[in-house]
Amino acid sequence: MAQERTGVITFKGNPMTLIGPDVGVGQSAPDFKVVDTGLQPVSLGDSAGKVRLITVVPSIDTPVCDTMTRKFNEQAAQLPDNVEVYTISMDLPFAQKRWCGNADIDKVKTLSDYQERSFGENYGILIKELKLLARAVFVIDAAGKIAYREIVPEVTDEPDYDAALAAVKKLV
């Protein structure tokens, strides 16, 4: 039985339950298996040796998630090649691909956790009540350690973009 945590996030003011461990800075980043927009599997090991900026959204088709992904896409264009930028959600890969095409997203790789929920469960951000991922940002260094983590307390709020990007820039 997976660990359940309460008191971490709300959704529109309502308390939610997170499934999975409280993964923190300094810990080894858990592996995961998600799929890209072509239904190909992607894991943490696929980008070993690179700095990873992983942004997590409940659904890419909602206004805050749309804004967040666009802002990180703009910033990703200014990051060096040894940085991978992922946006992970429970959206189907087909919806992610359509959205990215419509939004001209070309620097952020959208990945879906819909098949196994391994990202959400391994990083402790799967919302039990909604079966969606909580809004979060993780920065993983080239050695596979978590260098930065923000789980946004109110799911409908945006993350701290500057702090996340500062964490990335410290590592490159």
Query: Where in the sequence numbering do the catalytic residues fall?
Result: 65
Crossing angle of the two packed helices 63-76 and 93-103, in degrees rounded to 10? 60
The DSSP secondary structure of 70-115, one letter per residue, reads HHHHHHHTTS-TTEEEEEEESS-HHHHHHHHHHHT--SSEEEE-TT
Rounded-to-integer distance, Cα 4 and Cα 17, Å: 6
| DSSP label of 45 | G
